[in-house]
Structure 1
Amino acid sequence: MGMFRPGRVRSLLLAFLATILVCTVYLYWTPTTASSTVSVVPSTAFEVPLVERQKDFWKAFQPIIERHSPNCPSPEKNGDAGANNYDPVKDSPRPDLTVMSEADQKAMEDAHANFVEDIKKAGKDLKPVHTPGKRGLVSTAGATYLPVFVSTLRMLRRAGSTLPVEVYMKDTGEYEKHLCNDILPNLDARCLVLADVVGKNVIEHYQLKIFAVLFSSFEEIIWMDADCFPLGKPEELLDSEPFTSTGLVTWPDFWASSVSPLYYKISRQEAPAMTARQSSETGVFLVSKKTHLFPLLLAAYYNFYGPSHYFRLLTQGGPGEGDKETFLHAATAMGTPFYAVSERVQAIGHQNGEKLSGSAMAQTDPREDHALITQDKWRVKDPAVASPPHIFFIHANYPKFNPGDNVFGMGWETTPTINEDGSDARAWTAPPETLHRFGYDVEKAYWEEIKWVTCHLETVFKSWEHKAGLCMKVEDYWKNVFAEPHDDDPKFTPDG
Structure 2
Amino acid sequence: MAIFNRRYMLNRRLAKLFKAVFFLVIVCLVCAGLTHHFHDGPKTVDEYKEFLQGYLGGNANTTVTVVNDADKIKSYYNTVFENLLLFSPKGETARAYGDKCILNEAIGTTSDNIPKFERLSYENLLDCLKLSNEELSALKLSHNFFVQSLDVKYPKGMYQGDGIVMVGGGKYSLMAYLVIKHLRSSGTSLPVEVFIPPNEEDETEFCETALPELNAQCIFIDRILPSAMIKTFHFKGYQFKSLALVSSSFENVLLLDADNYPVRRLDDIFKQEPFKSTGLILWPDFWRRTTTPLFYNISGVAIDLTSPVRYSFDDLTPPEVYFNSTMDRSKIPVNDFAGAMPDVSTESGQLLINKRTHLKTILLSLYYNVNGPAWYYPIIAQRAPGEGDKDTFIAAANFYGLPWYQVKTRVGIDGYSEDGQYHGVGMLQYDFVQDYELYQSARRDITAKYGVAGPSKTGQLRSEIAYDENYSLDTFEEKYFNKEKSGHKVMFIHANFPKFDPLSLWQDKKFINKQGSTYRTYNNLGKFNYWDIELYNFNSFETLFCSGADSVTWFPYMNRALQGNTNDRESMCSYIRMRLDHLEQTHHEATVPKPTH
TM-score (norm 2): 0.67
Equivalent residue runs for 1:287-326 within 5 Å = 287-326=353-392
Partner of 2:171: 144
The answer for unaligned runs of 5 or more in structure 1 is 1-45
Cα distance in 2 for partners of 1:106, 1:234 equals 45
The one-letter code matched in structure 1 to 2:118 is S
The answer to whether the aligner puts 1:376 opposite 2:466 as a matched pair is no
Bigger helix fraction: 2
2:554 aligned residue (460, 465, 472): 460
Deviation per CA, 1:150-177, whole angstroms, max 9, x where unpaired?
1111111122111111111122533311
Once the two structures are TM-superposed, the CA of residue 258 in structure 1 deviates from its matched residue by: 1.5
Select between 338-347 and 295-304 the one with higher mean Cα deviation: 338-347
Partner of 2:532: 442
TM-score (norm 1): 0.80
Select between 265-274 and 308-317 the one with higher mean Cα deviation: 265-274
The answer to whether the aligner puts 1:92 opposite 2:92 as a matched pair is no
The one-letter code matched in structure 1 to 2:175 is V
Select between 359-368 and 459-468 the one with higher mean Cα deviation: 459-468
Partner of 1:199: 230
**Would the aligned equivalents of 1:172 and 1:195 in 2 still touch at CA under 8 Å?**
no
Cα distance in 2 for partners of 1:392, 1:360 equals 13
Once the two structures are TM-superposed, the CA of residue 210 in structure 1 deviates from its matched residue by: 0.6
**Would the aligned equivalents of 1:148 and 1:401 in 2 still touch at CA under 8 Å?**
yes
Deviation per CA, 1:394-449, whole angstroms, max 9, x where unpaired?
1111211111222x47x27xx4x3355331222211xx4xx432122232344444
Partner of 2:583: 481
RMSD value, Cα: 2.9
Once the two structures are TM-superposed, the CA of residue 110 in structure 1 deviates from its matched residue by: 2.8
Cα distance in 2 for partners of 1:460, 1:72 equals 39
The answer for unaligned runs of 5 or more in structure 2 is 1-65, 304-333, 444-472, 563-567
1:78 aligned residue (94, 97, 110): 97
Equivalent residue runs for 1:310-459 within 5 Å = 310-376=376-442, 381-385=476-480, 386=482, 387-388=485-486, 389-406=488-505, 408=506, 411=508, 415=510, 417-419=511-513, 421-429=515-523, 432=524, 435-443=525-533, 444-454=535-545, 455=547, 456=549, 457-459=551-553
Deviation per CA, 1:194-213, whole angstroms, max 9, x where unpaired?
26735244322211111110
The one-letter code matched in structure 2 to 1:402 is D
SS state at 2:390 partner: coil
Cα distance in 2 for partners of 1:260, 1:63 equals 29
The 1:317–1:245 alpha-carbon spacing in structure 2 relative to 1, beyond 3 Å, is same
Once the two structures are TM-superposed, the CA of residue 393 in structure 1 deviates from its matched residue by: 0.3
Deviation per CA, 1:343-399, whole angstroms, max 9, x where unpaired?
121221111243211121111111111111111288794335442521110111121
Cα distance in 2 for partners of 1:321, 1:348 equals 22
The 1:401–1:202 alpha-carbon spacing in structure 2 relative to 1, beyond 3 Å, is same
The answer to whether the aligner puts 1:163 opposite 2:190 as a matched pair is yes
Once the two structures are TM-superposed, the CA of residue 70 in structure 1 deviates from its matched residue by: 2.8
The 1:380–1:338 alpha-carbon spacing in structure 2 relative to 1, beyond 3 Å, is farther
| Percent of residue pairs bearing the same amino acid type | 28
How many residues are matched? Answer: 436
**Would the aligned equivalents of 1:363 and 1:393 in 2 still touch at CA under 8 Å?**
yes
The 1:265–1:235 alpha-carbon spacing in structure 2 relative to 1, beyond 3 Å, is farther
Partner of 2:80: 61
Partner of 1:130: 158
The 1:74–1:172 alpha-carbon spacing in structure 2 relative to 1, beyond 3 Å, is closer
Bigger strand fraction: 1
Cα distance in 1 for partners of 2:475, 2:168 equals 33
The answer to whether the aligner puts 1:251 opposite 2:298 as a matched pair is no
Partner of 1:113: 144
**Would the aligned equivalents of 2:93 and 2:375 in 1 still touch at CA under 8 Å?**
yes
Cα distance in 1 for partners of 2:532, 2:403 equals 33
